[in-house]
Amino acid sequence: MIEEDYHVHCLNSPDSREPLEEICEGAVQAGIREIMVTDHYEMFRDSVKHEPYRREYLDTCARTVRECGERFRGRVYVGLGIELGQWHLQPEAAARVVRDYDFDYVIGSFHKMDDVDLKFFDYRELDTKKLLRRYLEELLLIAGQGDFDCMAHLDLIKRYAGEQGVAIRAEDEEELVREILRTLAARGKGLEINTSGLRQAVKETFPSPAILRWYREAGGDIVTVGSDAHRRQDVGAGFKEAGELLLSLGFRYVSHFRQRRPTQQKIE
């Protein structure tokens, strides 16, 4: 059983309304002993047009995590993490954020293409082959330069396309995906298994089992499991399936992080 959820959000994130206390209670109920609170911090191509995230936001995140950590001491370890989107667009700002706070764990993500969130694309109107290549090329840039610990939901694009009835499979660009995975493995960066897909229309983890296998073939051995819960009932959801999947692919360990340093924990 995997008892560590390395990707949860709380109401500090713009897309969640759940107080962190509730997320922690959800963890207790699900038998999760450790959570990483990875609230969003997004980078933009044109930061002038968008309201930039500010330090007060990060200060609030850090304070909430500290307070909940004290309240749940002995029951749940509450780690300070962050989900940094589009690292490659504002690398200096991203590096500053990571440097200025005492994070246990940093996620590298990609949510927005040309500053537009992937969920707002009309996949029925787009050249999906071109779009997929572009998506993966941006991920490759993040993989090659970001100072993060694990890359999140590598084939997330299949979720939003799938919701519109369009199938996008990252596996169709095998060479590009393998290049991302080789880059991650060579830099000692991990890969997240995000279980949120199991409770969505795609009914599959991000990334898919095939891509997880390719990561292992590339020599990658740092994996974390995250529910991407934005509500208390989703903390730890799909972890039994994720554990079985990892074991079936030959992974024997998941990684834990403290102050950005991984240790390997046997999957029981």
Q: Which residues of the chain form contacts with Zn ion (CB under 5 A)? A: 83, 109, 228
Residue 113's Cβ-count burial label (10 Å; 0-12, 13-18, 19+) is: middle
Shortest Cβ distance from residue 194 to Zn ion (Å)?
8
Shortest Cβ distance from residue 234 to Zn ion (Å)?
11
In the numeric block, which tokens belong to residue 214? 């390719």
Shortest Cβ distance from residue 61 to Zn ion (Å)?
13
Shortest Cβ distance from residue 27 to Zn ion (Å)?
16
Nearer to Zn ion, 86 or 255 (CB): 86
What b-and-e string marks burial along 41-68, b requiring 16 or more CB atoms within 10 Å of the CB?
Answer: bbbbeeeeeeeebeeebbeebbebbeeb
Nearer to Zn ion, 70 or 158 (CB): 158
Nearer to Zn ion, 73 or 239 (CB): 239
Nearer to Zn ion, 83 or 173 (CB): 83
Cβ neighbors of 137 (< 8 A, separation 6 or more) are 176
Shortest Cβ distance from residue 50 to Zn ion (Å)?
17
Nearer to Zn ion, 19 or 253 (CB): 19
Shortest Cβ distance from residue 23 to Zn ion (Å)?
12
Nearer to Zn ion, 3 or 192 (CB): 192
Shortest Cβ distance from residue 132 to Zn ion (Å)?
18
Nearer to Zn ion, 90 or 109 (CB): 109
